[in-house]
Amino acid sequence: MKKLAVFVSGRGSNLKSIVSKIESNHLNAQILAVVSNKSDSPALEYAKDKLISTFVISTKEPNGVHDYKSLLNIFKDLSIDLIVLAGFLKKIPDYFVDAFENRIINIHPALLPSFGGKGMYGMNVHRAVFESSAKVSGATVHFVNKVYDEGLIIAQRAVDISDVQTPEDISARVLNTEHELLPFVIDLFSKERIKIVNNRVVYT
Ligand code: GRF
């Protein structure tokens, strides 16, 4: 059974969707750690309610927090197999990416490589999509490398937004898709079905 660490910054709806799939036996994995850069993140409270170990990562917040170096040792002790960024808004240090090469994934609320990169998170993404008059948007799960939102794409799912009235409409439709796409990718990983062939991600 694959061991996961999930990184969050906000409300944690993607974390909840992963937990729900695990609890309903639709995903054979276990979450051993939830990490946030915000000590007051609702996602951390949810993890505590689920009796999942939580860690606050920061170089600024007061005592009781961890830095990435200590987290790396903790993850090795826990034998973490996969790191899932689920609404995590900070860049992962390069040495951490190297230590978990092709074992860190991120969910982005648009169809990369469009509408991605530094500053493109949350409603910024959906406003940019709305203002472009795009007729489809969607979600992307990709490997995390050393450049924001540029790792190899693992999976995508498009949603029709031709009839939306606001960026919030886009956000709601894309979020529903995220809640299915991220567990789908974690399930592929748990079954060791994700391979990289000629620099493309394929499912075996
Ligand atoms: C999601 O839209 C995700 O794509 C983006 O941040 C949001 C996180 O939402 N990276 P939640 O915290 O999982 O509800």
pTM of the model: 0.95
| CB neighbour list of residue 51: distance below 8 Å, 6 or more residues apart | none
> What is the residue with the minimal CA distance to atom 2 of ligand 1?
109
CB of 113 closer than 8 Å to CB of 119: no
CA of 178 to the centre of ligand 1 (A): 8
Q: Give yes or no for residue 4 having a pLDDT over 60.
A: yes
CA of 68 to the centre of ligand 1 (A): 22
Interval 102-129 mean pLDDT: 96
Q: Which residues of 12-34 are buried (b: 16+ CB within 10 A; e: fewer)?
A: bbbbbbbbebbeeeebebebbbb
In tens, the pLDDT along 17-65 reads 999 999 999 999 999 999 999 999 999 999 999 999 999 998 665 555 6
Q: Which atom of ligand 1 is nearest to the CA of 13?
A: 14
108: annotated active-site residue: yes
